[in-house]
Amino acid sequence: MGPTARIDLSALRHNLQRARELAPGSRVYAVIKANAYGHGMLRVAPHLAGADALAVARVEEAVKLRQAGIDRPILVLEGFFDAAELAAASHYRLEVAVQQPEQIALLHDNPLSHPLTCWLKIDSGMHRLGFQPDAVEAAWQALQDDPSVDKKVRLMTHLSSADDLSDPATPTQLALFSRFADRFGTECSVANSAGIIGWPEARSDWIRPGIMLYGASPMLGQTGEQIGLRSAMTLQSRLIAVNRFAKGSPIGYSGSWVCPEAMSVGVVAAGYGDGYPRHAPSGTPVLLNGQRVPLVGRVSMDMLNIDLRSQPDAKVGDPVTLWGEGLPAEEIAQHAGTIAYELFCGVTQRVQFEETNG
Ligand SMILES: Cc1ncc(COP(=O)(O)O)c(C=O)c1O
d(CA 70, CA 326): 33
| Residue 328, pLDDT above cutoff 90 | yes
- The enclosing domain of 265 has a CATH number of 2.40.37.10
pLDDT band, residue 231 (cuts 50/70/90)? very high
d(CA 70, CA 56): 13
Residues 189 and 298 in one domain: no
Spell out which residues line ligand 1, taking CB within 6 angstroms: 31, 77, 158, 192-194, 208-212, 218
CA 13 / ligand 1 centre spacing (Å): 18
Question: Considering the domain boundaries, does residue 228 fall inside one?
Answer: no
Residues 44 and 139 in one domain: yes
| The pTM of the whole model exceeds 0.85 | yes
CA 338 / ligand 1 centre spacing (Å): 17
For 273-284, how does the pLDDT look when each residue is reduced to its tens digit (9 = 90+)? 999 999 999 999
For 261-318, how does the pLDDT look when each residue is reduced to its tens digit (9 = 90+)? 999 999 999 999 999 999 999 999 999 999 999 999 999 999 999 999 999 999 999 9
Q: What is the mean pLDDT of the chain?
A: 97
- Residue ending a domain, choose from 181, 216, 251: 216
Residues 189 and 283 in one domain: no
Provide the residue range defining the domain that includes 96.
10-216
Residues 173 and 241 in one domain: no
- Residue ending a domain, choose from 216, 247, 279: 216
Candidate of 32, 76, 77 to mutate for ligand 1, largest count of ligand atoms within 8 Å of Cβ: 77
For 89-124, how does the pLDDT look when each residue is reduced to its tens digit (9 = 90+)? 999 999 999 999 999 999 999 999 999 999 999 999
The separation between CA 27 and the C-alpha centre of its own chain, rounded to angstroms, equals 19
Residues 209 and 215 sit within 8 Å (Cβ to Cβ): no
Structural domain count, the chain:
2
| Residue 150, pLDDT above cutoff 90 | yes
Residues 237 and 195 in one domain: no
CA 146 / ligand 1 centre spacing (Å): 28
Residues 205 and 58 in one domain: yes
Candidate of 208, 212, 220, 343 to mutate for ligand 1, largest count of ligand atoms within 8 Å of Cβ: 208
pLDDT, residue 207, reads: 98
Residues 16 and 137 in one domain: yes
Question: Considering the domain boundaries, does residue 31 fall inside one?
Answer: yes
- The strand pairing partners of 286, in sequence order, are 293
Residues 123 and 53 in one domain: yes
Residues 161 and 126 sit within 8 Å (Cβ to Cβ): no
Residues 178 and 83 in one domain: yes
Active site residues: 33, 253
The separation between CA 314 and the C-alpha centre of its own chain, rounded to angstroms, equals 34
Ligand 1 atom closest to the CA of 33, numbered from 1: 13
The separation between CA 252 and the C-alpha centre of its own chain, rounded to angstroms, equals 32
- Residue ending a domain, choose from 216, 251, 284: 216
